[in-house]
Amino acid sequence: MSEPMAQSPPPVAPGGTAGTATRNPRYARPALSQLGLSPGKRARLKRLLYDYGPGGGTLLVLPIDQGLEHGPVDFFANPASLDPAYQYELAKEGHFSGIALHIGLAEKYFHQYAGEVPLILKLNGKTSIPSDAQSFSALTGTVEDAVRLGADAVGYTLYVGSPAQDRDFDQFTRIRDEANRFGMPIIVWAYPRGEAVAKKGGKESLYAIDYSARVALEMGADIVKINYPVPSDKDKDSPPPYNTLQLSHFEMFRKVVESAGRALVLVSGGEKVDDTDLIDKVRSSMDAGATGIIFGRNLWQRPKAEALRLTRDLHAIFRGYAQPLA
């Protein structure tokens, strides 16, 4: 593994109080100049990383693609969140780097926030009604749609290990070529899925997530969105040497970041957790070299005042991880 930088500043607990927890080593993120970007991609990523949100080369993204992926069930925890204007207002007032959503929510709502909240247009998706055995997300939009709407990036879900991954790779290749032509950055939601993955440690295993991060890099992602690996008894079913690795949670995630190479890493939030666990996850991820977080339910399932208070804490944390534009 690469050598760590100097240790990061002490953790900020919810409410902005410095904590006393033992610190992880801290690793640098790739600079924009290292990513081989076209001028169009560099200009758009520079806006996301430095001109909006916490800045300093970090990303704080609010996703609201769950309505398609999960249905309305996620909005019961906070009924106000059923109205997409709730998330748009949260992204605007909370000074997020961007909001990620599907074309319908962009066409019907984004015109009110254009120029104030950067748009990340999600280009494919599926419902949760079929099983994950043959996971595949069909296209719901195009890169041309993203350009027309004023997006600064597009998102694509890639199901690594699914029996449908040959179709997925082919579909992604077409999107990647279109994005390169228009100078549009691509964020890959890299998710391991399928029966073969389940038999080799499961979708939350280090093996599956590490492999997915590398696949996203190999396929041409500019940014990869990944979940945090979760150790379990099923790890013994992972291929060698993963089945015998003895790594801490931090070391596992650092391994994933290294496998992503010069694709920037966004950490997925998943289901809502308490403030302490959320802050710990953010700090550990950033220490390991992540560029930022993409947290949806952990923020918009809360009342707005609480969500904005937590967002201010996240901004304070990210300030400690700022890197100059290079």
Dihedral in degrees, nearest 10, Cα atoms 71, 75, 80, 86? -70
* pLDDT band (50, 70, 90) for residue 12: very low
* pLDDT band (50, 70, 90) for residue 270: confident
User: What's the pLDDT at 116?
Assistant: 97
User: What's the pLDDT at 140?
Assistant: 98
User: What's the pLDDT at 14?
Assistant: 40
Say if residue 73's pLDDT is above 90. Answer: yes
Looking at the domain assignment, is residue 9 inside a domain?
Answer: no
Q: What average pLDDT score do residues 301-326 get? A: 97
Contact 258, 265 (CB under 8 A): no
* pLDDT band (50, 70, 90) for residue 243: very high
Domain with residue 112: its CATH number is: 3.20.20.70
Say if residue 188's pLDDT is above 50. Answer: yes
Looking at the domain assignment, is residue 12 inside a domain?
Answer: no
Q: What average pLDDT score do residues 31-52 get? A: 97
User: What's the pLDDT at 22?
Assistant: 60
Q: What is the mean pLDDT of the chain?
A: 93
Active site residue 109: no
CA distance 32 to 56: 12
Say if residue 111's pLDDT is above 60. Answer: yes
* pLDDT band (50, 70, 90) for residue 13: very low
Output phi, psi for 91, to 5 deg.
-65, -40
Confidence (pTM): 0.93
3-class DSSP string for the chain: CCCCECCCCCCEECCCEECCCCCCCECCCCCHHHCCCCHHHHHHHHHHHHHCCCCCCCEEEEECCHHHHCCHHHHCCCHHHHCHHHHHHHHHHCCCCEEEECHHHHHHHHHHCCCCCCEEEECEECCCCCCHHHCCCEECCCHHHHHHHCCCEEEEEEEECCCCHHHHHHHHHHHHHHHHHHCCCEEEEEEECCHHHHCCCCCCCHHHHHHHHHHHHHHCCCEEEECCCCCCHHHHHCCCCHHHCCCCHHHHHHHHHHHHCCCEEEEECCCCCCHHHHHHHHHHHHHCCCCEEECCHHHHCCCHHHHHHHHHHHHHHHHCCCCCCC
Looking at the domain assignment, is residue 2 inside a domain?
Answer: no
The one catalytic residue in 27, 52, 191, 242 is: 191
Looking at the domain assignment, is residue 27 inside a domain?
Answer: no
Looking at the domain assignment, is residue 18 inside a domain?
Answer: no
Site of tokens 């560029």: 291
Looking at the domain assignment, is residue 13 inside a domain?
Answer: no
Q: Select from 128, 133, 197, 185 the least CA-distant residue to 160.
A: 197
Q: What average pLDDT score do residues 84-99 get? A: 98
Looking at the domain assignment, is residue 237 inside a domain?
Answer: yes
CA distance 30 to 323: 10
Between strands 124-125 and 138-139, the pairing is antiparallel
Q: What average pLDDT score do residues 153-171 get? A: 98
120 — alpha (psi -120 to 50), left (phi > 0) or beta?
Answer: beta
pLDDT one-digit tens code per residue, 121-161: 999 999 999 998 999 999 999 999 999 999 999 999 999 99
Looking at the domain assignment, is residue 197 inside a domain?
Answer: yes
CA distance 123 to 120: 9
| Residue ranges making up the domain that contains 183 | 38-315
pLDDT one-digit tens code per residue, 218-232: 999 999 999 999 999
User: What's the pLDDT at 144?
Assistant: 98
The one catalytic residue in 122, 200, 203, 225 is: 225
Site of tokens 């089945």: 243
Count of domains observed in the chain: 1
Active site residue 191: yes
